[in-house]
Structure 1
Amino acid sequence: MARCCSFTATRDQCLRFSFSRSGLKSTVTDLGGGTVMHCWVPRRPKPARPDLVLLHGIGANAMWQWNDFVSPLAARFNVYVPDLLFFGDSYTTRPERSEEFQAQCVVALMEAIGVKRMNVVGMSYGGFVAYSVAVQFGERVDKLVLICAGVCLEDKDMEEGMFRVRSVDEAVSVLLPQQPEKVRDLVRISFHRPPKRMPNCFLQDFIDVMCTEYLQERIELIVALHKDRKLSNLPKLAKVHASHLSRCP
């Protein structure tokens, strides 16, 4: 629950204004079967422009992840920025937690909005979902960009020291922080030049606003992503142009 005076909630409102100023509007689509997805869509899509879908990571919702990029991208693309399930106003009552199900919901959302073919960009967890979109619906994807998305990871990679965390439980504690020190850990891992001073009051406010809703469901997303994951089982892409692929574990 946000406090009466909340820096994070105020920032959230500023991001909403920024998205609106970039020519986007907030929409909520009922996909049926207990699944609802929120998405920022062009207020006036232009048929001559390509459609671009931006998928966020675990540590942020759509606005917090993509705000710095929406305005310049909206000048050249019809930009669609959905909240993945259990972020923002997107949720499902169904039990599925895999990136494959997230991908199916993204495509169902685009279908409901009227987007037939798309370019897809995924950041971190969103990269796993984007890859799955391309695997399952390659005929609908023109180009795919993965940013900091270790889709080639295996469940043993953490134990072997490839990451800064050594277990899924430790990853959960950092990606879904519940204490100010864990937010500091997340910032140190995520930022090339992390802020030197991060007062506890601001960090706790961020936790209260951003990291408490759908906590159990988000934990299940992370667990499902890593469980029994092997490179040999990674589906191959077929009909997608990967003109630029940025990947880090």
Structure 2
Amino acid sequence: MEMRRSKKAKVKRRYLQPQPSPPLHSMLPKISKCFSFTASRDWVYRQLFAAAGLRSVATELGEGTTMHCWVPKMHKGSKPSLVLVHGFGANAMWQYGEHIRQLMGHFNVYVPDLIFFGESFTTRPERSESFQAECLVKMMEAHGVHRMSLVGISYGGFVGYRVASRFPHLVDKIVLCCAGVCLEEVDMHNGLFRVSSLDDASRILVPQTPDKLRELINLSFVRPVRGVPSWFLQDFIHVMCTVHIQEKRQLLEAILKGRHLSDLPTIQQPTLILWGEQDQVFPLELGHRLKRHIGENAKMIVIKNAGHAVNLEKPKEFSKHLKAFLIDSTKSCPTSPLASGEDTHF
């Protein structure tokens, strides 16, 4: 018995050694095949907008056109209406998500997706910003809104400007953020832009490869995030940039082909021009040109250490200037920077 125990005691047991887990960064590309970070972020924005008091509504405008918009769950007659118009890139939620709560307390906020963005589309052939403006006005009228202020970022500023010029009775105030409304076709040939042709611009602004999306990020931010893996960028492209590719490129073509400053009408509404000092998409010169074109009704603020995506890169400054112009400007004294009509640098 003792012998058996001693023999048993000498038996060597072999245990499987635990294998080290692979590093997380090597697993993420596999995870992304069944889990989209971009789609998850989009879902978070939807919850944020809903929690802020907005609901998602698609409005049929007729003739094959549908426009989606986030609208107030309850429109309050005591509040003015504010329309936030997005630019190229992700849908409207991504561009205004940082600012929505700060504005909801003061306005009935409407956040539309322009045609061929988000859930908005048309079967009609028009691609001009004037057509976008018509659709936006029809959609707002369908919601019973006949007076509003507008904020337009980049391409959204082109559309907002057309609303203000064609439907002046509808617009109280307008904010144009990094919107190259005063560009001319000749500017492309004269080297004002970092790209040399419309084709180059469309490949960057409607990116289909990680390299082109990375180039867009580098042009849009003063301090872009470095080292973003290609699979992450491809996920964003798959979710945000693979629908209506040709139509979006046609929108870009429509704003540049045959464009002359002399054809651009002026607007009479009080206007705030916001610009990133180091904007590489629409250089600062276009902001000064816009200020001269509108005249004394326009006030210009240049935000330092910011690029084209100033709403994302400097969200606090962006919100502060929106609030000062849209809410507090009536209380400003005549000598304040916002009331003087002069350029102000922050």
TM-score category of the 2 structures, normalised to the smaller one: over 0.9
What amino acid maps onto 1:218 in structure 2?
K
Q: Decide which of 135, 140, 144 is 1:110's aligned counterpart.
A: 140
Q: Deviations over 1:145-202 (max 9, x none)?
A: 1000011000111221211112111110110111101111110111121101210010
C-alpha separation between the residues in 1 aligned to 2:135 and 2:247? 16
**Higher Rg:** 2
Deviations 1:120-147 (A, max 9, x none): 1100000000000001100110001100
Alignment of 1:42-121 (within 5 A): 42-121=72-151
User: Counterpart of 1:30 in structure 2: which amino acid?
Assistant: E
Structure 2: unaligned runs, 5 residues or longer: 1-31, 276-283, 287-346
- Distance in structure 1 (CA, Å) of the matches to 2:107 and 2:191: 40
d(CA) in 2 for partners of 1:93 and 1:61? Answer: 20
Q: How many Å apart are 1:213 and its aligned residue?
A: 0.2
Higher RCO (CA < 8 A, seq sep 6+): 1
Distance, in Å, in 2 between the alignment partners of 1:47 and 1:191 is: 39
Q: Match for residue 65 of structure 2?
A: 35
Structure 1 portions without partners, runs of 5+ = none
**What percent of counterpart residues are identical?**
55
Matched residue type, 1:69:
H
Find the aligned partners of 1:119 and 1:143 in 2 and give their Cα distance. Answer: 5
TM-score by length of 2: 0.70
Matched, 1:235 2:265: yes
Give the structure-1-normalised TM-score.
0.96
SS of 2:118's equivalent in the other structure is: coil
Aligned partner letter, 1:169: D
Partner of 2:273 in structure 1? Answer: 245
Between Structure 1 and Structure 2, the one with more helix by share is 2
| 1:246 alignment partner AA | L
Please give the alpha-carbon distance, in whole angstroms, between the structure 2 residues aligned to 1:3 and 1:160.
Answer: 44
After TM superposition, give the deviation of residue 3 of structure 1 in Å: 4.9
1:186-225 equivalences under 5 Å are 186-225=216-255
Instruction: Compute the displacement of 1:60 (Å).
Output: 2.2
Q: Distance in 1 between matches of 2:273 and 2:111?
A: 20
Return the offset for 1:64: 1.1
Aligned-residue CA RMSD in angstroms?
Answer: 1.2
Question: Residue 148 of structure 1 corresponds to which residue in structure 2?
Answer: 178
